[in-house]
Amino acid sequence: MALEEKLRRLWREWPGCAAPGPVDDGGVDLRAFAVEDEVMLLRRDETGRVRVERRTRWPRRERLAALHAMAARLDARRGSPEAWRSLATPAARALLPRRPEALPPVTTYALHGALQLVPLAALPLTGPASAGPNWLSERTTVAVHVAGARAAANGGKGGKPLFVVDPTGDLAGAERSLVAYRRWFPGGRFLRGGEATPAAVGEALAGAGWLHVDAHASYDPVFPEMSRLQLAGGELSLMEWSRLPVPRQFANLSGCRTASWPATADSGQYGLGGLLARLGVGWVVATRGPIPDDAAGRYNQAFYRALAAGAGVPAAHAAGLAALRPVQPPWVWGSILLLRAASAVAGQTSWPLTPSR
Phi-psi region of 300 (alpha: psi -120 to 50; beta: other; left: phi over 0): alpha
Answer for the pair 295, 332: CB distance below 8 angstroms, yes or no: yes
Region 160-340: CATH code:
3.40.50.1460
Answer for the pair 126, 321: CB distance below 8 angstroms, yes or no: no
Answer for the pair 29, 343: CB distance below 8 angstroms, yes or no: no
The residue type found at 21 is G
- E-strand ranges in 98-186 read 106-111, 141-145, 160-165
For 240-272, b/e burial (b = at least 16 CB within 10 A) is: ebbeeebbbbbbbbbbbbbbbbebbebbbbbbb
> What was the pLDDT predicted at 354?
41
> What was the pLDDT predicted at 356?
36
Mean pLDDT by 10-residue block, N- to C-terminus, for the chain (357 residues)?
51 50 68 97 90 97 95 84 92 96 96 97 78 88 92 62 96 93 96 96 94 95 92 94 90 96 95 94 94 94 97 98 96 96 63 40
Answer for the pair 256, 291: CB distance below 8 angstroms, yes or no: yes
Answer for the pair 315, 141: CB distance below 8 angstroms, yes or no: yes
Answer for the pair 285, 314: CB distance below 8 angstroms, yes or no: no
Who's near 105: CB < 8 A, 6+ residues apart?
140, 141, 314, 315, 346
pTM of the prediction? 0.90
8-state DSSP, 50: E
State the pairing for strand pair 30-35/106-111.
Answer: parallel
Distances in Å between the Cα of 151 and the Cα atoms of 18, 146, 247 are: 16, 11, 14
Cα of 187 vs its chain's centroid, Å: 26
> What was the pLDDT predicted at 149?
83
> What was the pLDDT predicted at 19?
43
